[in-house]
Amino acid sequence: MNDNKKYSFIYIRVMLILILAFVACREGNNNVSLPPDSTETIYDILVDANSPKGRVSPLLMGFGTIYSFEKDEMWQNGQGLMPSMLKRFNTGILRYPGGALVNRYHWNNLNGEGWKDNWNPNYDTANDKDPREYMDVDEYMMNVQAIDAEPMLGINMGSGLKYDRVQDGIDEAVALVKYCEEHGYAVRYWYLDNEPYHDGANYKMTAAEYAEQINLYVPAMKAINPDIEIIVNWKHNITSENNSLITLVEAAGIHIDIVEVHWYWQWGESSFNLWKDNSPMSTKNKWYNGGSYADEIMAFKPLMNSLGYPHIKLASNEWNIGPSASEASHPSKFESALMQSEMFSQYIDAGMHMACFWGAYWPLAEQGTNTVNRYLLDPTDDYSQNPSVTMFELFADAMGTEQVECRSMISDVYDIAIRDDVNDQLIIYVLNKKDSGESLSTGIKIKGYEIGTVNAISFVDTMMSESHLAGIDVKVEDDRLILHLPKNSLTKIVVKR
């Protein structure tokens, strides 16, 4: 080759690389920088098993209970439908007694009427339910131990404020901490009230009022057990409109270990088409101008550092896609699960500390018209499993592992990778939001991990399987995997040496 042709060839090659890098930066969904050795091999995704990003918290696989809905027959002292399912997920934490009902909940005087407060002077005890229709603290602890998860107990602050009985509320909380200590219940995580900023709270608090209550309750509770961790719940505004969060942390940060936010994607407007147009999935809605879930999570620690409380961690202990504007626009059961998988992928990707999915089910008598598809179980079909169950089963192996670098150059694709040293395997999750064509041809380059056997399975909208799982063929070329991702799918690829 003469010098002119040689230099022309080099110039064309360099220009091609620059063009690919520009396209990747404009179109890639996460970690979109061009792999450094792309001059040698063209591929879409790079996994570097020798570049750890941090441990995937086992507390990400969490779920919420609603004590007044948890019938004995669903749990059967750790042997029923619910605990059997939660075991398969490798569940790390279980939240009790629920969401909005916690600020009407009195653990030592249960009525089974979640949203009716028996501290109300006009409360009629004739409304009290049969204890078999709900779960008390002892039953809860038995079930938590059966699934080998961490317990998380809620404290009612709303009743004390509403009925001018704050000291009684503190005494009630202290008595519960003592009860757990005396009965050998190792409860590390305690959450203080629920959405106290919401109009539907038993007592709606400002950030300053909530901070004042935190500063009263926590010292009294920690006098019984100084090792407990305190979770507080506030608005999900992290990167903008966060003044009230800052007020709360500045006033009570010394007594806060975890801030819990509630994320329901596009509440009242959720749809599959809207999700496909939203890459990556974002917290931005008609109320809040936020970034992606990963962006919000990663912005939290610098915010806490700036306030002088670097120890405070982030959780989302109620999360799901939101309900839709109408029955017609609500995602199908499979679509709901696929959308949920991206939220969960972003939680893993950004290193979220803790999360609890809401909800397992909602009793048929209380069922809304367009929300059943986003639950784990379908109360309209004898509590049969929704596809979300399969989705969580696919992620069960990721809990407690080491996340490693995973970089993509494909738009509308979200990918994460984990290294499971206990079972000596590398697992790659690839969410394909594209629906053009039947499949997407993909090359995955793997660095730092010898490829032996490879198995891949896709969670896909298919009538061939009730679980929506289909095997995927993978071709191995040296350090690369070549496969076809089905449209609108979540694929789990397991590589062993």
Closest Cα to residue 374, out of 410, 324, 411? 324
Which tens digits make up the pLDDT trace of 279-313? 999 999 989 999 999 999 999 999 999 999 999 99
163-186: b (≥16 Cβ within 10 Å) or e: beebeebbebbbebbebbeeeebe
Cα gap 49→347, rounded to integer Å: 20
pLDDT at 465: 78
Residue-by-residue DSSP string for 94-162: EEES-SGGGGG--TTS--S-TT--TTSTT--GGGPPPGGGS--HHHHHHHHHHTT-EEEEEE--HHHHH
Comparison of pLDDT for 206 and 38, the residue scoring more: 206
Contact 475, 483 (CB under 8 A): yes
Q: 467: helix, coil or strand? A: coil
pLDDT at 368: 54
Closest Cα to residue 270, out of 322, 335, 341? 322
Cα gap 76→74, rounded to integer Å: 6
Assess whether pLDDT exceeds 60 at residue 15: no
Assess whether pLDDT exceeds 50 at residue 12: no
Assess whether pLDDT exceeds 80 at residue 251: yes
Assess whether pLDDT exceeds 80 at residue 70: yes
Assess whether pLDDT exceeds 70 at residue 84: yes
* Residue 96 binned pLDDT confidence (cut-offs 50, 70, 90): very high
Which tens digits make up the pLDDT trace of 112-123? 999 999 999 999
* Residue percentage of the chain with pLDDT more than 90: 83
Contact 437, 476 (CB under 8 A): no
Cα gap 430→406, rounded to integer Å: 10
Among 4-13, 165-174, 220-229, the range scoring the smallest mean pLDDT is: 4-13
pLDDT at 124: 95
pLDDT at 370: 59
Assess whether pLDDT exceeds 50 at residue 21: no
Strands (E), 339-422: 354-357, 377-378, 384-385, 402-408, 413-420
Mean pLDDT of the chain: 90
Assess whether pLDDT exceeds 70 at residue 391: yes
Comparison of pLDDT for 379 and 419, the residue scoring more: 419
Assess whether pLDDT exceeds 90 at residue 7: no
Comparison of pLDDT for 8 and 470, the residue scoring more: 470
Cα gap 276→331, rounded to integer Å: 12
Assess whether pLDDT exceeds 60 at residue 4: no
For 171, the token pair is 């005494």
Closest Cα to residue 325, out of 273, 272, 282, 270? 270
pLDDT, mean of residues 249-273: 97
Q: How many CA atoms lie within 13 A of 120 on its CB side?
A: 16
Sheet with 469-472: list strands edge to edge. Answer: 469-472, 453-460, 489-496, 425-432, 413-420, 402-408, 45-55, 439-447, 480-486, 474-477
- Radius of gyration for the alpha carbons in the chain, expressed in angstroms and rounded: 24
Which tens digits make up the pLDDT trace of 481-497? 999 999 999 999 999 99
Which tens digits make up the pLDDT trace of 352-375? 999 999 989 988 655 554 578 999
For 242, the token pair is 């966060």
For 47, the token pair is 């996994």
pLDDT at 14: 34
pLDDT at 42: 56
Which tens digits make up the pLDDT trace of 320-347? 999 999 888 999 999 999 999 999 999 9
